[in-house]
Amino acid sequence: MAVSRMRTVGARGDRLLIYLLISAAVVGSFAVLDAGYARAMAAGEGLLSAEWKRHLLWLGVFVVVFQITSRAPVRVLRGLSVVFYLGAFLGAILVFVPGVGVAAGGAQRWIGIGPITLQPGELLKPATILFLACVTSIELPAVNRYRRDLAARLDRSLTPFCVRVLPWVLVLLSLVLVEREPDLGTAAMIGAGAYGVLLLGRARWPLLVGLLIAALAIGAVFATSRDYRMERIATHASRWDPSVVKGPGLQAAQSEVAMAFGGASGVGIGQGRAKHVLPAATTDFVFTTIAEEFGLIGSGLVILLLGGISIRLIMLSMRLKDRFSRVVVGGIGWWIGLQSILNLLMAGAAIPPVGIPLPFISYGGSSLLALAIGLGAAQAALKMESHTEEKIAPDSHRRRHRRTRLSRA
């Protein structure tokens, strides 16, 4: 069993996962080029838009960051996970600082570092998974309730309580910060990542059900806290009304029409109409162009590709014995899979637009950087498991207690 695992999970991590990531990166770069060239030509940039060129640069950053992260020992990643989370949390605060935060499209979501702008909310997605995987894997000492020393009893009970509760308080604060930017979609994905940690950590079902109910209640409060969100929700069912279709229902309606015209084989490469009218053609609604020009066949291949990445990570996490590694690998797969599903539902007009990019396929430097960190950490965890198996597997067939192991054949 150990030998068969090592054929796919070896010193370089999981080879099948690497092939899937390369394929997703290639498809994403083509999708950004195809969905963005119309706008670029209208702006006089030519066929190769500046947006696509920046996307290629961020793909280069993805490769570098992925290689560095995947080669780091797991104990180093475990130690840096807290620092990484606090840095992303600080970035979510800095977006509101004048002169540091960058506003665009009525939102304050970015920080400027020279010519580069980063979105801390995107970085909080993998940071939350790594951070909670670290703190939930800490073995806490058992509390002796019968000690007579009250101070010692308080210390031994209060410290574990803070270790367990404080991280979740910080995650809740990060949700509020990101939602105030405003960015409800990113805040929802951060919360979903935290919930995935509990699922993979095999938390008790009453806790999972209670937190799910609480999350739905908090989401309802967030959704009703701003007028434009309420307008999107209230008008989504009637998005085809003449008074709505050119306003809040524009993107959902146009995306729905484009995907319907795509049919089984699509209208042909470069022949799509939606990318000419959708404001977020290369970001949140990039899948619309794929479905319109390549039809059910092309969009199905993209779904299989992203689903393969997610399912592969979750399946590999079930084999891992180390709790931190298991939660990291499975949590990254959970995050990618759930975000892909929500984006596809949004593109198909099943849910109102919430501003969630499609992993690898949508344009966005911060999104690619977040994926590089999360997937690099997952590969590092898989490498650690393979090294452990390589050390144990040969020893299991050697002498034990100075006796030669006999074959059972």
Task: List, as one string, the DSSP characters of 83-112.
Answer: HHHHHHHHHHHHTTSTTTEEEETTEEEEEE
Tell me which residue has tokens 């997952």.
378
Span 174-226, pLDDT tens digits: 999 999 999 999 999 999 999 999 998 878 888 899 999 999 999 999 988 88
pLDDT at 136: 87
Phi, psi dihedrals of residue 9, rounded to the nearest 5°: -110, 100
Return the number of other C-beta atoms located less than 10 Å from residue 351's C-beta. Answer: 17
Average pLDDT rounded to a whole number, residues 378-396: 67
Q: What is the dihedral of CA 294, 298, 303, 308, to 10 degrees?
A: -160
Tell me which residue has tokens 């198996």.
389
Checking if the pLDDT of 241 tops 80, the result is yes
Pairing of β 13-14 and β 9-10: antiparallel
Span 4-16, pLDDT tens digits: 444 456 555 688 9
Checking if the pLDDT of 290 tops 80, the result is yes
CB-facing half-sphere around the CA of 337: CA atoms within 13 A: 17
Please, what's the b/e burial string for 297-323 (b: 16 or more CB within 10 A of its CB; e: otherwise)?
ebbeebbebbebbbebbbebbeebebb
- The residues pairing with 104 across neighbouring beta strands, listed in sequence order, are 107
Tell me which residue has tokens 């949508």.
362
Distance separating alpha carbons of residues 31 and 25, to the nearest angstrom: 10
The model carries a pTM of 0.88
Average pLDDT rounded to a whole number, residues 64-75: 95
Please, what's the b/e burial string for 332-342 (b: 16 or more CB within 10 A of its CB; e: otherwise)?
bbbbbbbbbeb
Distance separating alpha carbons of residues 284 and 346, to the nearest angstrom: 8
Phi, psi dihedrals of residue 307, rounded to the nearest 5°: -65, -35
pLDDT at 10: 55
The closest alpha carbon to 380, from 311, 339, 332, 334, belongs to 332
What is the distance in angstroms between the CA of the first residue and the CA of the last residue of the chain? 17
State whether residue 9 is helix, strand or coil: strand
Pull the structure tokens for residue 174: 């990060």
43 or 292, greater pLDDT: 292
The closest alpha carbon to 316, from 308, 66, 133, 172, belongs to 308
Distance separating alpha carbons of residues 127 and 294, to the nearest angstrom: 35
pLDDT at 388: 56
- The residues pairing with 107 across neighbouring beta strands, listed in sequence order, are 104
Return the number of other C-beta atoms located less than 10 Å from residue 5's C-beta. Answer: 16
Burial of 378 (0-12, 13-18, 19+ CB in 10 A): buried
Span 329-376, pLDDT tens digits: 999 999 999 999 999 999 999 999 888 999 999 999 999 999 999 999
Cα 129–chain centre separation: 9
